[in-house]
Amino acid sequence: MDPQKVFCMTGGSGNTSSYQKQYMDPQKVFCMTGGSGNTSYANNSSLQKKASDKVKHIIMDTVESLYLTTATNSFGIADLGCSSGPNTLSFIKDIFEAIQGIITDHNISQPSLSEFRVYLNDLHTNDFNSIIKALPDFHTLLKNIIEFDPLIFIGAYPGSFYGRLFPNSCLHFVHSSHCLHWLSGVPEGLYDEQGRPVNRGSVYITERSPEAVVEAYYKQFQKDFSSFLRSRSEEVVVGGRMVLIFLGRRGPQHVDRGNSILWEILTRSFATLVSKGEVEKEKVDSYDVHFYAASREEIEEQVRKEGSFELERIEISEIETRGVGKASYGAVLAKAIRAIQQSMISSHFGDSILDSLFDIFASLVDQEIAQQAIDPINYVLLLRKL
């Protein structure tokens, strides 16, 4: 089975207990909801922005160190998983403001860096239009920030970051925020020899999941993260840095009150629709998310095994679990997850369930938080190319 493929079951409205293997490629389907509508990623990525802002000092410190020590006149920056919202341009703006601050603070009259290359990457399924349309005005904004008028080249590079994207040794700084918890595909090993799903009734790892499910997800993470590091090792110059921010878990247990509880709540939301006759149970049984929340030990082990980077820093960053304005956290989170998962859910179940599914999800999240706190975390990694 191609690891980039995903099993999904036959559709239709009749009841059936038989499964037929079909393929859905996340790299052809998975994308953030585009445009600027009410359910778009552009309008529902504030939680990611808040989480990134909490660790912005790490990025700025890294950029300052690189700027002052890199002997080149052409500096390469990549944002991997830039998506379709405003967050990526905000990140690039922060970097150029930091560079101008360095020049001012150190009284640099003739900066050696005269050229900046900015590479924006995501899967080709993403809506790049909003970013491309914003680039002319954004380019002007950057020129106004940087007083010495450097050459600034910005381009979009569609493709999976689990493989090569850029020429050899062209990058000095790589950034990726809230992306690496998404696997290249649903893991192998989630179906038995007869083609039946072994994680029935769950969309991710739960207490009910067989050990084979846990092993399958972990093996896929190992393969994907190693491939990511190996690919970047060819593209990043010696001494270059990467700052990676992605969802994880605190300890060895996969089932916790962090990120896994949210997938459990999504499973319960599907179960509610099944009880109402709006979704077939077999369709839920055959739906698995291509997600993995790694532990610190698992991350450190893969960096060490791959061997191209030194892990200079790893930190835990807690994620805000309060509502925005008058909205409940459940409502805000439901919109955020819908903007991310809508493409995959629609491909498997159809569009008609989306409103009901995420209304139920929002309500269940608020009920869960009222009983006990939900505590999702990010890991923040600073890596140096050896």
Whole-number pLDDT of residue 22 = 42
Degrees, nearest 5: CA angle 330-369-374: 95
What's the topology of domain 44-253+291-321+375-385? Rossmann fold (3.40.50)
- Kindly list the domain boundaries of the chain, sorted by start residue: 44-253+291-321+375-385
Q: pLDDT (tens digit, 0 to 9) for every residue of the chain, 386 residues total?
A: 444 444 344 344 333 334 444 445 666 566 544 454 564 444 444 456 566 677 889 999 999 999 889 888 999 999 998 876 666 788 899 999 998 998 899 888 778 888 999 999 998 887 778 788 888 888 888 888 988 888 999 999 999 999 999 999 999 999 999 999 999 999 988 999 888 999 999 999 999 999 999 999 999 999 999 999 999 999 999 999 999 999 999 999 999 999 999 999 999 999 999 999 999 999 999 999 999 999 999 999 999 999 999 999 999 998 776 655 556 889 888 888 888 888 889 888 999 999 999 999 999 999 999 999 998 999 999 999 99
Residue type at 233 in one-letter notation: S
CB atoms within 10 A of CB 369: 18
Rounded to two decimals, the pTM is 0.89
Assigned token pair, 220: 């896929």
Whole-number pLDDT of residue 307 = 98
Whole-number pLDDT of residue 347 = 87
Distances (CA, A) of 142 to 44, 99, 100, 121, 314: 25, 11, 10, 19, 30
Question: Using an 8 Å Cβ cutoff, are 265 and 364 in contact?
Answer: yes
Could you list the beta-strand ranges (E) of 208-327: 236-248, 309-318
Ramachandran region of residue 180, left (φ > 0), alpha (ψ -120 to 50) or beta?
alpha
Whole-number pLDDT of residue 108 = 85
* Dihedral sign from CA coordinates of 261, 262, 266, 268: positive
β-strand partners of 120: 79, 156
Residue 173 φ/ψ, nearest 5 degrees: -140, 130
* Dihedral sign from CA coordinates of 159, 164, 168, 169: positive
